[in-house]
Amino acid sequence: MATEIELKLSIAPDDIEIFLQHPLLQSKHETLLLSNTYFDTEEHDLLKRGVGLRVRSIGDKRVQTLKTAGVVVGGLHTRQEWENEISGETPVYHQFPEGALPKWCAQQKNRDQILPIFTTGFIRMLWLLHTKAGDIIELVLDQGTIQSKKAYLPLYEIELELKSGMPAALYQMAITLQETQALFIENKSKAQRGYELHKPALLSTEKAETSPQALTAEYAALMQKNLDKNP
């Protein structure tokens, strides 16, 4: 099990060319073509139990991932995840460690209701960045779509994932990146947007309109609150 800490940012498609000219992104990077299928029941029984389940295709490789709903504060997504490589296109439940899956999944009749409900497909550009303070941050730019059986959404998103160091470094990196154009905090994960697309009646009109600068004060206050609790 790993704990994922990342900051998601939305970017306008017209700003991508300028974004790619940022000095931080002139180092070597990797480009991947990723395809993901998300699984749940029509009634979202896994989501209701606080987990998300997907199978990712990277070339001939297949990786299944189980994530908790986690916590989102000021655009910072923190959650637990389990993943392992599989040979097929559908989840292999017994490969997850004991206790990772909800007890609801223990019954075969319940697992039989779990089906593909939406997909994401995108080109990912990936950089591994090191700060002067010694933090290591994985920066990715995703461009593609989120698609259900009846509808789709365009996807243009930046993710800053903390590999080593302090979470505050993610905000500082976001501020540095938006020196060339506007970036905005994205509180919704790809999975959440996919679920909303699967159930159009639940589709939210909420937009990411908070800048990283505005959230640094909020984040600092949260960090101080934690310090006060745990001196």
Please name the residues in contact with 205: beta carbons below 8 A apart, sequence gap of 6 or more: none
Highest mean pLDDT (candidates 98-102, 135-139, 172-176, 195-199): 135-139
Highest mean pLDDT (candidates 2-11, 27-36, 191-200): 27-36
| Lookup: tokens for 12 | 């306008």
Q: How many domains does the structure of the chain reveal?
A: 1
| Lookup: tokens for 102 | 């909800």
Q: Which H, E and C letters describe the chain, residue by residue?
A: CEEEEEEEEECCHHHHHHHCCCHHHCCCCEEEEEEEEEEECCCCHHHHCCEEEEEEEECCEEEEEEEECCEEECCEEEEEEEEEEECCCCCCHHHCCCCCCCHHHHCHHHHCCCEEEEEEEEEEEEEEEECCCCCEEEEEEEEEEEECCCCEEEEEEEEEEEEECCCHHHHHHHHHHCCCCCCEECCCCHHHHHHHHHCHHHCCCCCCCCCHHHHHHHHHHHHHHHHHHCC
* Mean local confidence (pLDDT), 42-71: 90
| Lookup: tokens for 46 | 């896994």
The predicted structure's pLDDT at residue 180: 81
Instruction: Check which CATH number belongs to the domain holding 83 and give it.
Output: 2.40.320.10
The predicted structure's pLDDT at residue 182: 84
* Mean local confidence (pLDDT), 90-113: 93
Q: What is the mean pLDDT of the chain?
A: 85
Least confident of 3-12, 17-26, 54-63, 179-188: 179-188
pLDDT at position 219 over 50: no
Highest mean pLDDT (candidates 76-80, 116-120, 200-204, 222-226): 116-120
Which band of pLDDT confidence, cut at 50, 70 and 90, is reported for residue 231? very low
Cβ proximity of 61 and 85 under 8 Å: yes
pLDDT digits (tens, 9 = 90+) for 122-140: 999 999 999 999 999 999 9
The predicted structure's pLDDT at residue 73: 65
- The boundaries of the domain holding residue 90 are 2-229
